[in-house]
Amino acid sequence: MPSESVASELHGMRYEASRYRGDKIYGIGFGRPFEGETCMDKEPSWETPRRAHFTHEEDVAFLRRTIKVSRDSRSHGNTLFGDILVDEHKNIVLEQENVKITEHRCIAHAETMLADWASHEFDRDYLWQCMLYTTAEPCAMCVGAIYWANIGRVVFAMTERDLLAMTGSSEQNPTMDMPARSIFASSQKNIEVIGPFPELIEEAAAAHVGYWGE
């Protein structure tokens, strides 16, 4: 079965989620399901204030979960990236590994896949109140996917420049150096970007040791 049910304890919170593994998408744990939208007769969702407040410690705990997902991605034959989607009630609702290699899909970065999956499962109002946590700062493609999915907050452990220092000119991952904040700044939405987290950079980078030929 292409999705794996996950149940664990994180920072004192119980959660259940599903993880995309193959060519189909199966279920989610918590959250409001997508019920269809009519957008012409209401104010844009991104003008609604975000209701949840996350402490620094909570952000660190969720980022540590993404580091675990990134290690799983490597063990499953893909590059070392992973992310999670967290709702305003601090439940993990989706987890996503990078599946670019195993799926033979050039756009199958973890953030893009999660954004696409989330847009199938949830409506825009719900996603505007959600947080995407990821090991490394999203690339330009993933920033675009997050924007179109309407996810309201992005949190990353290390910058794209930190990643570039490890990947170099890798054919598999020719990393850009384009800050996510700069891309979001040219958009209509005030998507909040948090990161990097200096105390997690070494931990996030450790999963990459020996992978890029260094």
User: Which residues are catalytically annotated?
Assistant: 111
Taking a C-beta distance cutoff of 8 angstroms, is the pair 83, 114 a contact? yes
Q: Report the b/e string of 119-128 with b at 16+ CB within 10 A.
A: bebbbbebbb
Two structure tokens written together for 70: 């990134």
Task: Report in angstroms the alpha-carbon separations of 12 from 42, 139, 157.
Answer: 37, 31, 21
What φ, ψ does residue 3 adopt, rounded to 5°?
A: -120, 150
Peptide bond into 174 cis (omega under 30): no
Give the C-alpha separation, 194 to 76, whole Å: 28
If DSSP codes are grouped into helix, strand and coil, which group holds residue 9? strand
If DSSP codes are grouped into helix, strand and coil, which group holds residue 165? helix
Give the C-alpha separation, 113 to 97, whole Å: 8
DSSP string, 29-93: SSSPPP-----TTS--GGGSPP-----HHHHHHHHHHHHHHHHHHHHTTS-S-EEEEE-TTS-EE
